[in-house]
């Protein structure tokens, strides 16, 4: 079949990411003798610069990887938890019953930078200065602006000009924002990264990285964040001004940690995902349900395939809301959720017609709990009141409308996958700290994240807010093993849709014999039946969002089955990336592919 790009093949190394600059930089590290970890870290820092509307240094990072000399996959958690001062009682004192989606209040401890440094320290081979140099150069000298970056800044123009002046100073210098196709510079961010590189210089590789970590966790970065959160009152989507809860002590007390992944066996493969501080288990629950269907017999672009995959996704996503949370705080029944008995019972709910219901299950007979916002009509009324108060612009200065407080400009995520000639494989999904999520900290050149909006102000929820608790994020990289060896790494940005879009690539490649690029290029879809993880936490019962490239007969059949179709631009859903390693006649073959949607993702390798 025709594909937008070729599936890449070689034996030296492969990288796929959501931006061509990051891919090129990662490949350059491999060419200079670095390994997959060096390449991933260098690419990750470049993504902070090239896709600032999708991720930033103030954000989060889950990584799943397997060393070529190891027999198991590992997870590195770069998801910072809630600050010590972030309690349900504190938010209630502020008159809030849902955590705002912008500003300083929803900031978790920023984990992305420290996690990249830990990964480089433990598994890389290069000095920090070497891997930071490309990101510093692009921030200092200018990076080519993708149209989505320019559009995000333009949408925030009124907020940056009149409400968040520190963001205005960075993103609207002289009143002009980034111009699509032109260059834009981020000198304050370049200076921050240069200070980290300087801190690492002259001490030996690992000792230098530790010195940079101290500068981040306890030094100038922590001090600037602490000062900004204490001194600034920031307008957020609640229509009121709030100071932040994050302190320098919070940064100093937390650090990234390694964990074992969750896994499920599926058709001779072992699929590894992050634990339940992300939604990664959704992917495994979908596979546990799909085991009972003959996916290979279905047309990968046909109505049976779309219906079956979407209905299984609805069931897994419903369990996400009822059961998932930070496993250090919540008793998540993972074993029961993946058991054959439970999934046989749940599989029976997949009928010929589309369900519009929200149906979490009862693993081991335990009854699911949903926050009032999801469980009761009164909750929906309160949510609507939160969105549309009697005076919708109350508290906004200068005649600004509510959309000008940053509420309506969505952020997203980035992704990268790397495999090298030594068999090391890395999959990472950095996110948060979007330029539109929170005002820029001027001394640092970046803003904080807003990940706490994914926690509930409901003590009975497994995802209830608590100090030191990780938000149940949507970030979900994937690593697949064959006979204990790393076989494929894949993932995508996309918030709640990540495990649905990644599933399409995985199933179409495994069951239908499509190569990685063919599987990525086929038309995509996802269910919107579950509530979003982002403010204001709404859902669209029965809605199936679908690219407008399927046959009309498929659309007609899906509507006959009761799906409410939301037909989207033919190339608009997903930004998938993947790499693969397989033993073949004559040697080990490496492969890579990347999504052409949005015209920025790229794969490279040889």
**pLDDT of the residue at 414:** 96
pLDDT tens, residue by residue, 12-61:
999 999 999 999 999 999 999 999 999 999 999 999 999 999 999 999 99
pLDDT tens, residue by residue, 284-301:
999 999 999 999 999 999
What mean pLDDT do residues 182-197 have?
Answer: 98
Q: If you average pLDDT over every residue of the chain, what do you get?
A: 93
pLDDT tens, residue by residue, 380-395:
454 454 443 333 333 3
**pLDDT of the residue at 585:** 87
Q: Exposed (0-12), middle (13-18) or buried (19+): which is 523, by Cβ within 10 Å?
A: buried
Contact by Cβ (8 Å): 530, 374: no
Contact by Cβ (8 Å): 14, 39: no
pLDDT tens, residue by residue, 217-269:
999 999 999 999 999 999 999 899 999 999 999 999 999 999 999 999 999 99
Please state whether beta strands 269-273 and 74-78 pair in parallel, antiparallel, or not at all (unpaired).
unpaired
- The number of residues in the chain equals 606
**pLDDT of the residue at 410:** 63
Q: Would you give the end-to-end CA distance of the chain in angstroms?
A: 23
**Whole-structure pTM value:** 0.94
**pLDDT of the residue at 332:** 97
> Is the confidence at residue 398, as pLDDT, over 70?
no
> Is the confidence at residue 517, as pLDDT, over 70?
yes
Give the Å distances, CA to CA, from 301 to 61, 193, 313, 509.
33, 46, 17, 13
Q: Cβ neighbours of residue 503 under 8 Å, at least 6 residues apart?
A: 283, 286, 309, 313
Across 141-145, 177-181, 395-399, 575-579, least confident range:
395-399
**pLDDT of the residue at 372:** 72
> Is the confidence at residue 184, as pLDDT, over 60?
yes
Residue 562 CB coordination number (10 Å):
15
Distance of CA 236 to the CA centre of its chain: 22
**pLDDT of the residue at 206:** 97
Instruction: Summarize the chain as % helix, strand, coil (round to 5).
Output: 40, 15, 45
Backbone angles phi, psi at 76, to 5 degrees: -110, 120
**pLDDT of the residue at 386:** 46
Contact by Cβ (8 Å): 433, 446: yes
Please name the residue that has the structure tokens 């102000």.
Answer: 457
> Is the confidence at residue 404, as pLDDT, over 80?
no
Nearest to 528 by CA among 538, 519, 515, 514: 538
pLDDT tens, residue by residue, 113-133:
999 999 999 999 999 999 999
> Is the confidence at residue 348, as pLDDT, over 60?
yes
> Is the confidence at residue 183, as pLDDT, over 70?
yes
Q: How confident is the model at residue 586 (pLDDT cuts 50, 70, 90)?
A: confident
**pLDDT of the residue at 373:** 64
The span from the CA of 452 to the CA of 473, in Å, is: 9
The maximal CA–CA distance of the chain, rounded, in angstroms, is 71
The span from the CA of 539 to the CA of 532, in Å, is: 6
Judged by DSSP in three states, 352 sits in coil
pLDDT tens, residue by residue, 465-511:
999 999 999 999 999 999 999 999 999 999 999 999 999 999 999 99
> Is the confidence at residue 400, as pLDDT, over 60?
no
E strands along 529-576, which residues? 543-547, 564-568
What percent of the chain stands above pLDDT 70?
94
E strands along 370-501, which residues? 416-420, 425-428, 478-482, 485-491
> Is the confidence at residue 434, as pLDDT, over 60?
yes
The span from the CA of 189 to the CA of 140, in Å, is: 8
**CB hemisphere CA count around 427 (13 angstroms):** 33
């Amino acid at each position: 079949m025709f594909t937008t790009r070729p599936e890449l093949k070689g034996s030296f190394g492969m990288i796929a990411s959501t931006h061509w600059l990051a891919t090129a930089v990662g490949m350059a590290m491999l060419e200079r003798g670095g390994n997959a970890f060096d390449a991933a870290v260098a690419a990750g820092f470049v993504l902070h610069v090239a896709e600032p509307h999708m991720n930033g240094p103030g954000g989060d990072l889950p990584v799943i990887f397997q060393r070529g000399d190891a027999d198991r996959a590992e997870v590195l958690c770069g998801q910072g938890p809630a600050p010590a001062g972030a309690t349900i009682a504190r938010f209630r004192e502020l008159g809030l019953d849902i955590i705002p989606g912008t500003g300083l209040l929803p900031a978790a401890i920023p984990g992305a930078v420290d996690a990249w440094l830990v990964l480089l320290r433990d598994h890389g081979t290069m000095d920090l200065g070497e891997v930071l140099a490309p990101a510093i150069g692009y921030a200092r000298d200018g990076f080519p602006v993708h149209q989505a970056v320019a559009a995000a800044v333009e949408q925030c123009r009124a907020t940056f000009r009149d409400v968040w002046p520190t963001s205005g100073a960075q993103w609207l210098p002289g009143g002009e924002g980034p111009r699509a196709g032109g260059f834009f510079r981020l000198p304050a961010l370049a200076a921050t990264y240069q200070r980290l590189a300087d801190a690492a210089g002259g001490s030996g590789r690992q000792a230098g990285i530790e010195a940079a970590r101290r500068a981040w966790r306890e030094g100038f970065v922590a001090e600037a964040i602490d000062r900004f959160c204490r001194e600034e009152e920031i307008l957020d989507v609640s229509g009121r001004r709030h100071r932040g809860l994050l302190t320098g002590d919070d940064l100093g007390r937390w650090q990234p940690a390694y964990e074992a992944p969750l896994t499920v066996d599926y058709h001779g493969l072992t699929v590894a995902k992050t634990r339940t501080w992300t939604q990664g288990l959704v992917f495994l629950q979908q596979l546990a349900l799909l085991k009972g269907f003959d996916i290979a017999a279905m047309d990968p672009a046909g109505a049976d395939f779309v219906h079956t995959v979407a209905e299984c996704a609805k069931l897994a996503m419903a369990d996400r809301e009822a059961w998932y949370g930070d496993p250090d705080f919540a008793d998540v029944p993972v074993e029961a959720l993946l058991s054959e008995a439970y999934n046989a019972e749940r599989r029976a709910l997949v009928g010929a017609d589309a369900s519009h219901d929200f149906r979490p299950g009862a693993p081991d007979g335990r009854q699911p709990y949903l926050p009032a916002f999801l469980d009761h009509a009164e909750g929906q009324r309160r949510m609507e009141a939160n969105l549309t108060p009697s005076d919708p612009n109350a508290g906004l200065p200068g005649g600004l409308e509510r959309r000008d407080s940053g509420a309506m400009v969505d952020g997203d995520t980035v992704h990268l996958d790397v495999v090298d000639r030594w068999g090391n494989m890395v999959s990472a999904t950095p996110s948060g700290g979007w330029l539109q999520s929170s005002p820029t900290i001027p001394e640092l050149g970046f803003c904080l994240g807003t990940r706490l909006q994914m926690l509930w102000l409901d003590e009975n929820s497994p995802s209830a807010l608590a100090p030191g608790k990780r938000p149940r994020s949507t970030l979900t990289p994937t690593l697949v093993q064959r006979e204990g060896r790393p076989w494929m790494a894949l993932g995508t940005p996309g918030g709640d849709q990540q495990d649905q879009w990644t599933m399409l690539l995985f199933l179409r490649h495994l069951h239908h014999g499509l190569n990685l690029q063919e599987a990525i290029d086929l038309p995509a879809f996802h269910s919107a039946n579950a509530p979003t993880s982002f403010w204001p936490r709404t859902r669209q019962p029965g809605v199936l969002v679908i690219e407008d490239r399927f046959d009309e007969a498929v659309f007609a059949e899906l509507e006959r089955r009761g799906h409410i179709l939301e037909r989207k631009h033919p190339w608009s859903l997903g930004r998938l990336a993947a790499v693969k390693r397989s033993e073949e006649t004559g040697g080990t073959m490496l492969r890579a592919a990347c999504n052409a949607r949005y015209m920025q993702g790229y794969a490279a390798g040889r």
